[in-house]
């Protein structure tokens, strides 16, 4: 996986349309495929404003064509592993007066099935840099914006393997256990009116589950079916859910 950083805001390929007054603004990382893409499409269908980011520019263009025709959505080419890239994302959001009401830290990757001592260093680093450091980069730059608004919900995508262990995916498990601990700790730092939760989406048929389970991954529900339930759960989160570890 490339470790390149989007160099400057001017080089970000931005798809921007003005926001509707009645919609909530939801920022989703890793929006180019899988859960992120399906959730973005479902939220847009329900009339909410989507800010999506991904490293895959071609897939962002494809997503743009699938989003609702209302002129409210914003898609940015961002690498969450890079603090500078996330900082540029935050700057773009502020410039467009589109500070999110909800953030879904969804961007993630998994190692190829392997014993920990056989996982290449670069592969281990990619998992930690994306799943954990990428989430922290988002928190670093977006919590202050939400604090200024005195409200905001943050959903950190976790996993069943963030609450249990499994052979051959130790790097992924470690990253998601870290997400659980990070979320509970940050929950104690947030003021009233805000919330951060760790959300286990369950097993969904995605590229990541196929990496783990092979052909049997197709037996699980598809992201589109998951998004129908997930959108409702996420939109109904409140400050009372702060610190919770939830499962869909």
User: Could you tell me the CATH number of the domain that includes residue 29?
Assistant: 3.40.50.720
Task: Say if 2 falls within a structural domain.
Answer: no
Mean pLDDT within 238-244: 98
Q: CA 130, 43, 81 angle in degrees (round to 5)?
A: 10
- For residue 147, give its domain range: 9-247
Q: What confidence tens digit (pLDDT) does each residue in 96-130 have?
A: 999 999 999 999 999 999 999 999 999 999 999 99
> Is residue 239 in a domain?
yes
Q: How far apart are the first and last CA of the chain?
A: 29
Token digits of residue 12: 């970000």
Residue 160 located in a structural domain? yes
Looking at the structure of the chain, the number of domains it has is: 1
The pLDDT value given to residue 70: 57
Residue 30 domain-assigned?
yes
| H or E segment to which residue 196 belongs | strand 194-200
- Residues annotated as catalytic (active site), given as ranges: 172
Beta carbons of 78 and 107 less than 8 angstroms apart: no
pLDDT confidence tier of residue 6, bands split at 50, 70 and 90: very low
């Amino acid at each position: 996986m490339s470790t390149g950083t989007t160099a400057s805001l001017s080089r970000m390929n931005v798809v921007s349309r003005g926001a509707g007054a009645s919609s909530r603004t939801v920022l989703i990382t890793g929006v180019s495929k899988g859960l992120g893409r399906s959730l973005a499409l479902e939220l847009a269908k329900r009339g909410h404003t989507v800010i999506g980011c991904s490293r895959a520019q071609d897939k962002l263009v494809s997503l743009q064509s699938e989003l609702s025709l209302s002129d409210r959505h914003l898609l940015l080419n961002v690498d969450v592993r890079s603090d500078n890239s996330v900082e540029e994302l935050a700057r773009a959001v502020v410039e467009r007066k589109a500070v999110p009401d909800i953030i879904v830290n969804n961007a993630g990757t998994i190692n190829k099935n392997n014993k920990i001592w056989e996982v290449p260093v670069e592969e281990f680093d990619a998992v930690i840099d994306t799943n954990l450091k990428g989430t922290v980069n988002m928190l670093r730059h977006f919590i202050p914006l939400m604090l200024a608004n005195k409200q905001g919900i943050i959903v950190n995508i976790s996993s069943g393997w963030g609450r249990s262990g499994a052979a051959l995916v130790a790097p992924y498990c470690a990253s998601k256990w870290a997400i659980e601990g990070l979320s509970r700790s940050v929950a104690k730092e947030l003021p009233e009116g805000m919330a951060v939760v760790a959300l286990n989406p369950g097993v969904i048929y995605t590229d990541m589950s196929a990496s783990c389970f092979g052909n049997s991954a197709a037996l699980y529900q598809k992201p589109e079916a998951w998004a129908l339930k997930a959108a409702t759960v996420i939109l109904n989160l409140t400050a009372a859910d702060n610190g919770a570890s939830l499962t869909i």
